[in-house]
Amino acid sequence: MSEGPTEIRITDLARPRLTPDQRAAVEGAGRMPVRFELESILQAAVEQTGLSNFGTDDFRERLAVWLQAAEEDEHLGPVGRISVHRDCVRYAANRLRFEDLIARHPEILEVEIRRPIIIAGLPRSGTTHLLNLVAADRRLRSLPYWESLEPIPDPRESPGADGVDPRLARCRATHALQDRFTPLLKNMHDLAPEHVHEEIEVQALDFSSYLLEWIATVPRWRDYYLTHDQTPHYAYMKNVLKALQWLRGPDRWVLKSPQHMEQLLPLMEIFPDATLVVTHRDPRSVIASAVTMLVYGDRMRRTRVEPEAVAAYWVDRVETLLRACVRDRDQVPEEQSLDVLFHEFMADDVATVERIYELANLPMTPEARAALDRFMRENPRGKHGRIVYDLKEDFGLDPAELRERFAFYFDRFAVREEW
């Protein structure tokens, strides 16, 4: 009889005990100061790619707000600052490569993305597992993590002697470093290079998403993002997906992002024939998992680890996501949408996919069923070990008070209580 997953309790969230490797990395990063200056970011991307056409200039305002917000994060440490800086250069370089590809092949913009299956749901509500399970069906186009980081290949590069795409090789090297310095991240959210990822990295080419909130404390950016219509930025993301489809099919996508919960109307305007799948879970479990993951990573990113402050921010942020979802959910046509309850999905993963396929008019072939079953065998839940969460002890949060705060969500969806 096989044993269940190992339970892991992180006991040093508030007062991290850094390993010698972690201390050395933080000290080394401190000797490499970076500046959050718009023109230097863009110049670095130009030098990296040999390109200069960024397309329309409206993104500069958004990037400037990103950088100002990051600069205002007083406890963002050397590792965190380097991470934000490198991400901004990478997104700018990705944008340059995309605009260059479109200039050389304008026919890409005529590519049709037909009837995508799009998953929305709170972070930590099963969206990643559902995405990877559906993506095991090779009739669908999906976005592996390595490809999401560098979606457009550099025409100056070619595969190595081992035939591996240099973008994948870089992602594998970065993933190995991440696992070395924060080994428990994979227990909470495994970003293995070949695993399928959400399209939020693609949205970052237009510098408009909630992505920055996951790596820095940036209320200035949050407020800017939430008060601007995201429809044009979803349209930009769709054009990047067209380029990816043109580079490598097939032509029907499976996508997902928790951000879509607060952007259902822009999402459906840009993908009007999409099949929308919305996952639902007790938001207290979502918060416990998400803030534990964030605070655990903060031991490397930040000069001060503040579990209760992180929790307060994300309780508020999750409420914003859920209120937007409750507000807009019924505006998505019933014949194109499906609500998936976490406990039902966990009880029978493949049966949930069968419901999605029926709604999406995608036949469940024997080959597809075999692929789904194989994925389930090879990716058992908790295969790296299961993290044990404690809202009260770790974050000073009262589950009963949170239940009252999120009553509007429990009233709207038949979510099973987990606390």
In a domain, 113, yes or no: yes
Check if the beta carbon of residue 71 is closer than 8 Å to that of residue 297.
Answer: no
What is the rounded CA–CA span in Å between residue 185 and residue 145?
15
* 3-class SS string, 71-113: HCCCCECHHHHHHHHHHHHHHHHHHHHHHHHHHHCHHHHHCCC
What is the rounded CA–CA span in Å between residue 154 and residue 411?
50
Q: Which of 41, 32, 123, 151 is nearest to 80 (CA)?
A: 32
In a domain, 55, yes or no: yes
Tokens 């993290």 belong to which residue? 387
In a domain, 18, yes or no: no
- Residue 131 CB contacts under 8 Å (≥ 6 apart), including other chains: 119, 142, 196, 198, 254, 255, 256
Environment class of 190 (CB within 10 Å of its CB; exposed 0-12, middle 13-18, buried 19+): middle
279: which strand partners? 121, 340
In a domain, 42, yes or no: yes
In a domain, 13, yes or no: no
**pLDDT (tens digit, 9 = 90+) per residue, 342-383?**
999 999 999 999 999 999 999 999 999 999 999 999 987 666
Q: At 254, which CATH number?
A: 3.40.50.300
In a domain, 8, yes or no: no
Residue 103, pLDDT above cutoff 70 = yes
Q: Which of 209, 355, 339 is nearest to 276 (CA)?
A: 339
- Percent pLDDT > 70 in the chain is 98
Residue 157, pLDDT above cutoff 50 = yes
Q: Which of 227, 233, 149 is nearest to 195 (CA)?
A: 149
The predicted structure's pLDDT at residue 125: 86
**pLDDT (tens digit, 9 = 90+) per residue, 162-207?**
999 999 999 999 999 999 999 998 888 778 999 999 999 999 999 9
| Confidence tier at 3 by pLDDT (50, 70, 90) | low
**pLDDT (tens digit, 9 = 90+) per residue, 309-343?**
999 999 999 999 999 999 999 999 999 999 999 99
What is the rounded CA–CA span in Å between residue 352 and residue 359?
11
Residue 309, domain extent? 24-154+163-412
**pLDDT (tens digit, 9 = 90+) per residue, 22-50?**
999 999 999 999 999 999 999 999 999 99
Percent helix, strand and coil across the chain, each rounded to 5? 60, 5, 35
The predicted structure's pLDDT at residue 299: 96
Count the Cβ atoms, other than its own, within 10 Å of residue 324. Answer: 17
Residue 384, pLDDT above cutoff 80 = no
Residue 227, pLDDT above cutoff 60 = yes
What is the rounded CA–CA span in Å between residue 172 and residue 192?
8
Q: Which of 168, 170, 117, 113 is nearest to 144 (CA)?
A: 168
The predicted structure's pLDDT at residue 190: 78
Tally the C-alpha atoms within 13 A of residue 418's C-alpha that lie toward its C-beta: 18
Check if the beta carbon of residue 307 is closer than 8 Å to that of residue 14.
Answer: yes
**What predicted TM-score, i.e. pTM, was given to this entire model?**
0.95
Count of domains observed in the chain: 1
Task: Extract the tokens encoding 271.
Answer: 């993908």
In a domain, 289, yes or no: yes
In a domain, 375, yes or no: yes
- DSSP letters for 314-325: HHHHHHHHHHHH
Q: Positive or negative CA dihedral for 307, 68, 46, 28?
A: negative
Check if the beta carbon of residue 278 is closer than 8 Å to that of residue 120.
Answer: yes
